[in-house]
Amino acid sequence: MDIALEFLSAAINAHQANKRLADRAIAQVSDEKLRIALDEHTNSIAVIAKHVAGNLLSRWTDFLTTDGEKPDRNRDDEFVDTFASRAEMLAYWEQGWARLFETLAGLQAEDLAKTVFIRGEPHSVPLAIERSLGHTCYHVGQIVQLARVHAGDQWETLTIPRGGSDEYNRANWGARGKSHS
């Protein structure tokens, strides 16, 4: 097993899983509620999606050759909802994620030994990947929580429902579970 390729595959899978969670949460929210923040000190789902996409576009464009903080990025604007529609928001969201996945898929095992820069700070490629995963996980969690609040009683759980662990484990693992061997 090539551990470098295994790491890259795991990074892609983890990012994909987080995107799926966010996508499934966003799908449960009305167009109107995508734009509602809980209070003046928080962001709406639309704003969080804009920030995540902007971050991904900046970090993953020319990943190995330019600083991850691109000079044309307007981070402050990412926190202003300028979308004309849900479709426009989702198109930008998809653009950011597509850049990430395209770049990760193009990395080779030897690229993991390289150094990249984010805001002038050196990062090993694995560290930069983990930094991106941590950042997107944080914001996906926010999106899911906001969607949960906005959906109210109509919410469809994204994971194992409360009180459903035993049933899930029996159905998927059997009575004794599975060993690592």
Superfamily assignment of 3-160 in CATH? Answer: dinb family like domain (1.20.120.450)
Please say whether the beta carbons of 146 and 21 come within 8 A. Answer: no
What was the pLDDT predicted at 4?
95
Please say whether the beta carbons of 45 and 26 come within 8 A. Answer: yes
CA distance 23 to 26: 5
> Which candidate, 140, 144, 110, 138, places its Cα nearest to that of 125?
110
Q: Hey, which bits of 69-173 come out as E strands?
A: 115-118, 121-124
Tokens describing residue 110: 């030897």
What was the pLDDT predicted at 115?
99
Tens of each residue's pLDDT in the chain, 181 residues: 799 999 999 999 999 999 999 999 999 999 999 999 999 999 999 999 999 999 999 999 999 999 999 999 999 999 999 999 999 999 999 999 999 999 999 999 999 999 999 999 999 999 999 999 999 999 999 999 999 999 999 999 999 889 989 898 888 887 665 666 6
Give the pTM: 0.92
Query: In the chain, where are the structural domains located?
Result: 3-160
CA distance 37 to 40: 7
- Look-up of token digits 């979308």: 83
